[in-house]
Amino acid sequence: MKTHIIMPIILYVIAPAFMVGNGQYYKISLTASAAAATAQEPIQAPPGGQAGAPPGASASETIELTGTSADINGTFKVPLPMPGGTKDSTFILSCNGSEVTGTITDPSDPSRIFEIYDGKAKGNSFSFSVMVGKTEFNLEGTAGDGKLSMTLTTHETIPLDDGTKIKTSKDTEIDGAYLVPVYSPGGIMENIFFLKTEGDTLTGQMAMISNPLRDSSQFFDGTVNGKEVSFYTRTTQSLFHFIGTIEGDKIMLNLLVTDVRKGIEGAAVK
């Protein structure tokens, strides 16, 4: 069994009881005020993807603020949603022409400080990226009036433990039902993945063993290429992309999670 480090950044819900730690890809709209100035960051696409909201999710809102590049400089307290409640991260930003540099603190452990990269500015608009542990944060927005208005996207790939085929539905290697371990606050929970192929198209659904009629979700945009599979499912806020291979009775998946949240606001540091 693989060893997984679950960072306390975000918990995602696929079905009411299906939750995954380690925010794979999580988009937030937030407004923060700064003691000295305000800062903003741009959304970047995940590897092989495009920036923006996931299919079926509403786009994050960014409040446009009036200001100049000077408003990007300063120290900011930015509230970020965490398991159990919101926690502050400290952003220290410096803008020199079209370049933004600085650091942010881990909202779960303020003693951990991470340096930003790919920082860019144009007027009072800015963007940058930063690795917080194993999760990449991408930010974009505008600064002005002593406030920040940003959209935050985070993403990370979670390797799932191997699943096992428990039922074959027809004479193909992929079609059938699989028992797949998924992480929840109470530990690893096994879900049943039902997969069906028609040519290079894959469909199906995921269901919790404890209550498959209530806790289930349909897969969409599924594809199959030989032993390689790719498919999605979502809730009202979250998009889940499963990608991997099927070898005999084993299904080996990585999970990319996208989450969208709106209207997070912070007060200026006084």
Domain chopping of the chain, boundaries: 23-157, 158-258
28-57 mean pLDDT:
41
Reported as a pLDDT band with limits 50, 70 and 90, residue 57 is very low
Q: Which of 2-11, 50-59, 83-92, 156-165 has the highest mean pLDDT?
A: 156-165
Question: Pick the residue with more confidence: 213 or 137?
Answer: 137
The rounded distance, in Å, linking the Cα atoms of 27 and 105 is 18
Which pLDDT score is estimated for 263?
A: 61
Query: Considering the domain 158-258, what is its CATH architecture?
Result: Beta Barrel (2.40)
Q: Which of 24-28, 105-109, 232-236 has the highest mean pLDDT?
A: 105-109
CB 208 within 8 A of CB 216: yes
The rounded distance, in Å, linking the Cα atoms of 71 and 125 is 10
Which pLDDT score is estimated for 101?
A: 97
Which pLDDT score is estimated for 87?
A: 86
If we measure between CA atoms, which residue out of 138, 127, 128, 120 comes closest to residue 50?
A: 138
The pairs formed by 58-61 with CB atoms below 8 angstroms and a separation of 24 or more are: 58/260, 58/262, 59/260, 60/27, 60/28, 60/29, 60/151, 60/260, 60/261, 60/262, 61/29, 61/262, 61/263
